[in-house]
Each structure stands twice: as structure tokens, then as C-alpha cells.
Structure 1
């Protein structure tokens, strides 16, 4: 857009310069030509006053030496012709031509002639002046001069070059001014575009400076800031409501579960005990849902904070934490990571919660004898954490919906869960400027990969493990796994 504005300003300026400089250039050429023609007419008139005796048969007289000296001094050819067009006397460089023939015809008709009207730099015709020689009203002959146009052409070309240089300077000044003006006009639009991207990427504190550009765009910037404030406030209120509601509902839900649990001993028939068990399961399910909503609200609020963590160490601790459940379900859970630290820059607890959700899903949906692997490795200037399982996996359409809130695959509706685990993972990864990718495993299963950026500056610390026992994460988990 800035380029279009500059081009439009420049085109307008070029048209104005052409409209002003073209007539001026023509005027300068005509003025210089008129000056030369006036000088030559004065000279030719003086020669005509001396040509009368020569044409009356008295011989050239002093005119012959005058023309020779004139030609030698100024390089201007001159000649005296009689009424028949015959040359009576001429300077050394005199050369009759088509231009002089027209001039002589006009002079012998009793009129002065001078031409051309203007000398152009690309035309090399001489400036020809012819003056009749008369005696008592009778035309006896004519004096004609032919001035080389080289000097006039150079003078006109110099004037035109000066005009061109001035025009170029004006154009350069116009370009500089146009860029400044276009920048002043478009600066609010550019900043509005940048702030919009920043807000879209998660920085809800970004705002447009309202004192930039013309008044109309200032009002637009102020309106945008007001809209951003309103949207941010609504989002804060929504997240606060979800967090508060989830937290406040925990207390009555806990009390309700205790009351339902106390009813167990009083139930004697099998149907009553079955219903009692189902009621307890539903309260547990509701508690899990409230915990997930609270975690999601907290994750969305922490989107602007960044901490540096050792992803390998975190992965080792999470694998160690999930090993008992994996053993209980006869699922092999192992860690594939180097002993060296793998530092990543994330929001607080992002890797912990994301791995918890992914390992939970992998263990939950893998059958007896299946295998779950958590791998940590450097990739693309950051750290990649991969959770692979050999379970049933997901179809391509299910992978597209997996991170939607409360979505669950149709074939796992009877499995415990709130449908928010992968949503929380996606929010945490996005807030950390990372990536979450999921794909079908080969030959079966699911592969979920997290990628987080590395810190901009190297992290000083022990070369392996946490620096306390000299062992790396993989070694510690291996020993825990027995």
C-alpha cells in the first residue's frame, strides 16, 4: 500500500514538472535563438549599408575585407548577392544551401529573413539571416549570414540539462516526502496489523499507540484499543468464572460424595448397592471434570509467563510417576532420552501437565501387554517430546477433532475422562509458542509429539542429571522401573 501511495504521489509530481518545465524549455530555446538572430540582423544590416556601392558597380570596396574579418573572427559565413542571386562577394566559409536560398528569395523580395524560430539540441541547421540592400526603395541585392548553430545548441542543451537536474532533485525530494507522508499515514495501519498479530498469538496486553497518523486513523486506533480492552476483560471474566465455579463446586461435590458414601452400609439389596456404586462413580467423574476445567482456566491465564525447564528431567519424573499405574494395567512404560539436559522455554508446568495428559491417555487406551514410550530429543532448534503407544489409535477425522473441548471418540464414551485433556495440552503448548502434532502410529497406535523452543541464552548447570548424584534422567527412571 505504501508503494502505491508513493507511486501515485510521484506520478502526480512528474506530470506537474512536465507541465511546468516543457514550456520553460521551449521558451529558453526560443529566447537563445532570438538573441542570436537579433545580433545577426544587426550585423547584416550594417553590411547592407556597405553593399550599396558594390552593387552599383563600384567594386566590393571595404565590404570584402569586412566579410573576411567577420568570418575569421566569429566563424560566421556571409555573402553579398545581386538582384539576380549572383554572388558579388563572400567570406571564405560561405556555402550556399537550401536554407540560404529561401532566405535570399525573401530578402530579394524586399523583406528581412531570419530563421529558424528556435534551435533545438538535436537539429544542426545554421541560423540564417538575410537583409535586402535597397536604394531609393529599389532592391539592389541582399546580404546573407549563416551562423553555425553549435554554440546555440550547446547553450540550449545546458539549460535543458539544468532543468532536468532540477527536476530530478524535485523528484527525489518528492520521493522522500512521499515516503515520509505515506509512512505517517500508514504507520497506524502497520502498527494495527502488528498488534492484531500479537493479540492473535496470545499477547492480550498489546495495544496500538493512539497518537499516530491522521485524525481518522487515530480514532480507529483508539476504537481498536477499546475493543481489545473489552474483549480482554470478557475473556478474563470468563476464565475467572470457570476457575471460581470449578473451585467452588468442589466443596459441595465433596460433601455430596461423603453423604452418598455414608449411605452404603445401609443398603442391603444388590440393586441398591449397584446404584450406590454408580452414584459414587458419577461424583468422581464430575470431580474430574471440575479439576480439568480449573486446570484449563489456569493454563490460559499463564500464557505470557515463560520459564526454562529441563524437559528430559521432567519427562523422567512423569514417567516415574505413571509407572505404578502402567504396571497395574500391564502396560510397559519406558523413557527414551539422553542423559544430558534438554532445556526448553515454556509456560510454568506446561511440560508436566502435557505429559500427564498424554501418558494418561496412552496408558488408559492401551490394552494389556501394549507399550508406551516417552522420547526426548533436540529438533528444529528446540526440544521435542514424543509419546508413542501401540494401542488402537485414532482415525484421521478423529485426530482433527481431538483437541476440541469435551470431545470424545464414540467408541470410548464408557472410559473415564472429561474430554479436556488434549484441549489443556493444546492450550499449554500454544501459550509456550510450541507445537502439538498427532498422527497414526505404524503399524498401529498413536504418536503425539510436543515441541517447545529452546531458551535464547545457554543455561548454566551440570552436564548431566540434576547435579546431585551424577546420573541422568534416563538412568534414574530405568532404576525406578526395575
Structure 2
């Protein structure tokens, strides 16, 4: 936008300069031409006054000496013509354009002083032609015609034009500098507004636009944006607090309800009623999982977690060992592929633990007996990547894009235990750590879930 504004200012200035300098350049050329013609007319008029008695008496020697000296001194050719257009004397080179000089002579014999051309241009090499009638008592006896080179006049015009162009160039340079600074002053709040918008979108809810920058309209826009950001942030915070408080408060009655259902089940003798009782207990467990997920998500979204540097290799091995009993019981092979040296990652506290638990839990849910779950760690892109791959049914690319939405479940996974919050929690924790989380179909079948964290330096 800044370039477009400066370009607009520059275009307007160029149009104004052209509208002013083209007429001015034409005026300067006309003025210089008029000056040159006036000088030649003055000389020719003097020679015409001297030529009147000489032409009348036929004694042209004295006049010829004057014209010859004039030619030798100034390099201006002259021609003396009688009233019958007969050339009496020629001093210097013959005129190169007899037609133009013929027109000048005829007009002069009609009693007019003639000067050509009307305007000299730097690229026009025509000479300055001046014709003055030789008059005596009202009768025209002949014509004095001078033909002078226009080189000096054309150089003067070109010099004036160059000065004019230089002034225009300086004006353009000054305009560009001024327009650039003006555009920067006008657009600085917009640039900052754009940057703050991206910061807020990236998760920094405390980012705000610096007030008091730019013109009054943009100052009001900045103030309105800050007020809007404050309102939205406060609304989101209230929403998270409500979810956290509601989830926490529901835990106690849910625990009491489960105990009562268990107590009731111990008193039932009917097998069918016991089955219904077990289903009720499973539903309370499912509701407890949903509440735990909502609590964890609310904590993660607040972005107030402590940041720490951990060894992703040792932590991954630890979580794999913790899940080993369940994998053995289900007949699933759990393998790790980690480097021999430590890989330190910078992340919010427990982010990698919780992410691995959620990803391994999902992999085990959907991997059939005899399948394989692989957990790998590798250094990549200036950080640490942890990947969990399984040999389950996997998901399509469209399902992978939807899987991180809260409470989303795949159509063929509605009967699988879970609340649909695990991957949402992983996404929030990874993004809060400055990392990224990706789901994609594995090359060998199944699903590949990879999380990347920026590398961290170990402090001693």
C-alpha cells in the first residue's frame, strides 16, 4: 500500500509538472527565438537605412563593405535584392532554402518586416531568416535579407530546457522523499494494526496497537481495535473460566453419583439389572473423561503454563514404557525409534507428556491386535520432531483436517471410547509451545501424527 500511495503522489506530481513545464518550455523557446529575430531585425533595419541612398544612386561599394565586414565578424550571410527581386549582392553562403527566402523577400517588398521561423527548437537546424524592405519616401527600392545560423540560440534553448528538467527532477525527488515519509506516517498505524492482528491470531491475546500514531481517523481506529481486543479477550477468558469452574464443580456430584450407582449395583441380584448398572457406570466414566478433557483444555488455552526445556528422547522412552503393559495386554507391538543422544526441546510444562499420552492412547484404540505402534524422535528443521505411527484403519486427508476440532469423531469411530477432545488438547499445547501438530495418512497404512517443538538450550 505504501508503494501505491507514493506512486499515486508521484503520478500526480508528474502530471502537474508536465502541465506546467511543457508550456513553460515552449514559452522559453519562443522568447529566445523572438530575441534572436529582434537582434537580426535591428541589424537589417540599419543596413536598409544605409542601402536606400546607395540603391537609388547605384553606388553600392560602401554598403558592400559594411555587409562584408558584418559577415566576416559575425558569420551572418546577407543578400541585397532590388525591387524586381534581382539579387544585387550576396555576402556569405547562398541560402539553402530558396523557397523560404523567396517568401521572405516577397513579403518584404510588400512593405513588411519578416522574421522566420516563429519558434526555434533544439532539433530544428533551420537558420534565422530576416528580411527588411529598403524604403525611400514611401517607395520600396529593394530588400536586405540576412541569414544567420541558429546554433547559439538552439543551445540556449536546450540549456534552459535542461535546467527546467533538472528542476523537475529535483521536485520529483523531494516529492518522493516527502511522500514516502507521509505515507509511512499515515500507514504506520495500519502496519502495526496488521502485525497485532497476526499476533493475536497466533495466540498472543495481550498484543495491542500503540495509541497516538498517525492521523486522527487512524488513531480512533487503533483505539477502537484495542477496545475490541480487550472485550474479546475478556469474553474468552470468562468463557474459559466458566468451562473450568463448571467442569470442576460437576466432578463432585458426578463422583457421588458413581458411588451410589456402584452401591446400588452391589445390591442387585438380577443379571439384567446388573448389566444396566454396568452401562450406567460406563457412562459416568465417559462423562468424567469429558470433564477432565474440558478442564485440561481450559488450562491449556489460558497460555499461562511454565515453559521448560526437556529431553524429548528420555521423556518419549518413559511414556512408551508406561504404556507397555496395556499394549502387551492388547497384543499390539509398541516400538521406539530414538537417537542415542539427547534431543532438547523447549515447550510448556507437561506438553510433550500429555501429547504423547493422547496420541499413543488414540493409536492403541484404533490398532487391531497384532498391529504395530511406532514412536520416533528426530532432530528436524531446527527443532525436535516426535512422531506416532500406527497400523490401524487411518483417516482420509479431509478427516485429518477435522480431527483437531473439539468433540469431532470419525463416522466409523462413534462406538470407540473417547470424548473427542484429545487431539484438540494436543493442538493447544503444541501451539502454546510455539510448535506445530500435523496429522496425515501413513505411507504404510494407518495414521501418522507428528508434533514439532523448537529446540531448547540446556542451562547449567
Shorter-chain TM-score category? over 0.9
Secondary structure (helix, strand or coil) at the match of 2:40 reads helix
Matched, 1:82 2:82: yes
The CA deviation at 1:91 is 2.0
| Distance verdict in 2 for CA 1:101–1:412, change over 3 Å | closer
1:406 alignment partner in structure 2? 407
Secondary structure (helix, strand or coil) at the match of 1:333 reads strand
The CA deviation at 1:346 is 2.5
1:287 alignment partner in structure 2? 288
Contact 1:202 1:303 in 2 (8 A): no
| Distance verdict in 2 for CA 1:410–1:20, change over 3 Å | closer
The CA deviation at 1:85 is 2.1
Q: State how far apart, in whole Å, the 1-side matches of 2:443 and 2:59 are.
A: 121
Q: State how far apart, in whole Å, the 2-side matches of 1:347 and 1:217 are.
A: 37
Contact 2:300 2:428 in 1 (8 A): yes
Q: State how far apart, in whole Å, the 2-side matches of 1:392 and 1:50 are.
A: 119
Q: State how far apart, in whole Å, the 2-side matches of 1:360 and 1:232 are.
A: 33
Secondary structure (helix, strand or coil) at the match of 1:154 reads helix
Secondary structure (helix, strand or coil) at the match of 1:49 reads helix
| TM-superposition CA deviations, 1:66-90 (whole Å, max 9, x none) | 1111111111112222212223333
Report how many aligned residue pairs link the two structures. Answer: 459
Q: State how far apart, in whole Å, the 2-side matches of 1:204 and 1:162 are.
A: 58
Q: State how far apart, in whole Å, the 1-side matches of 2:111 and 2:396 are.
A: 108
Contact 1:195 1:208 in 2 (8 A): yes
Secondary structure (helix, strand or coil) at the match of 2:112 reads coil
1:193 alignment partner in structure 2? 194
Q: Which stretch of the first structure deviates more once superposed, 229-238 or 411-420?
A: 411-420
Contact 2:2 2:187 in 1 (8 A): yes
Q: State how far apart, in whole Å, the 1-side matches of 2:283 and 2:85 are.
A: 129
The CA deviation at 1:399 is 3.3
Q: Which stretch of the first structure deviates more once superposed, 151-160 or 134-143?
A: 134-143
Matched, 1:19 2:19: yes
2:383 alignment partner in structure 1? 382
Q: Which stretch of the first structure deviates more once superposed, 426-435 or 226-235?
A: 426-435
Q: State how far apart, in whole Å, the 1-side matches of 2:451 and 2:252 are.
A: 35
Q: State how far apart, in whole Å, the 1-side matches of 2:458 and 2:251 are.
A: 40
The CA deviation at 1:231 is 0.9
1:8 alignment partner in structure 2? 8
The CA deviation at 1:421 is 0.9
Matched, 1:170 2:171: yes
The CA deviation at 1:46 is 1.4
The CA deviation at 1:374 is 0.6
Secondary structure (helix, strand or coil) at the match of 1:139 reads strand
The CA deviation at 1:395 is 4.8
Secondary structure (helix, strand or coil) at the match of 1:376 reads strand
1:473 alignment partner in structure 2? none
1:362 alignment partner in structure 2? 363
1:161 alignment partner in structure 2? 162
Contact 1:439 1:447 in 2 (8 A): yes
Contact 2:401 2:439 in 1 (8 A): no
2:183 alignment partner in structure 1? 182
Q: State how far apart, in whole Å, the 2-side matches of 1:61 and 1:271 are.
A: 151
Secondary structure (helix, strand or coil) at the match of 1:452 reads strand
Contact 2:437 2:451 in 1 (8 A): yes
| TM-superposition CA deviations, 1:330-362 (whole Å, max 9, x none) | 322221101111222333322111100011122
Q: Which stretch of the first structure deviates more once superposed, 436-445 or 385-394?
A: 436-445
Matched, 1:130 2:131: yes
| Distance verdict in 2 for CA 1:393–1:7, change over 3 Å | closer
Contact 1:313 1:341 in 2 (8 A): yes
Contact 1:133 1:139 in 2 (8 A): yes
| Distance verdict in 2 for CA 1:304–1:139, change over 3 Å | farther
1:478 alignment partner in structure 2? none
Q: State how far apart, in whole Å, the 2-side matches of 1:104 and 1:450 are.
A: 98
2:244 alignment partner in structure 1? 243
| Distance verdict in 2 for CA 1:44–1:367, change over 3 Å | closer
| TM-superposition CA deviations, 1:133-172 (whole Å, max 9, x none) | 1222222112111111110000011101111111111122
| TM-superposition CA deviations, 1:365-393 (whole Å, max 9, x none) | 33333322111112233322111222343
- What residue ranges of structure 1 are gaps of 5+ in the alignment? 462-482
Secondary structure (helix, strand or coil) at the match of 1:79 reads strand
The CA deviation at 1:294 is 0.8
Contact 2:305 2:349 in 1 (8 A): no
| TM-superposition CA deviations, 1:185-216 (whole Å, max 9, x none) | 33322222222222112121122223222222
Contact 1:303 1:432 in 2 (8 A): no
Q: Which stretch of the first structure deviates more once superposed, 33-42 or 362-371?
A: 362-371
The CA deviation at 1:55 is 0.9
| Distance verdict in 2 for CA 1:167–1:412, change over 3 Å | closer
| Distance verdict in 2 for CA 1:450–1:141, change over 3 Å | same
| Distance verdict in 2 for CA 1:386–1:161, change over 3 Å | same
| Distance verdict in 2 for CA 1:48–1:316, change over 3 Å | same
The CA deviation at 1:398 is 4.0
| Distance verdict in 2 for CA 1:295–1:36, change over 3 Å | same
Q: Please, what TM-score do these two structures have when normalized by structure 2?
A: 0.92
Q: Please, what TM-score do these two structures have when normalized by structure 1?
A: 0.88
Once the two structures are superposed, the pairs formed by residues 60-459 of structure 1 within 5 Å of their partners are 60-95=60-95, 97-302=98-303, 306-395=307-396, 398-441=399-442, 443-455=444-456, 458-459=457-458
- What residue ranges of structure 2 are gaps of 5+ in the alignment? none
| Distance verdict in 2 for CA 1:402–1:137, change over 3 Å | closer
Contact 2:434 2:454 in 1 (8 A): yes
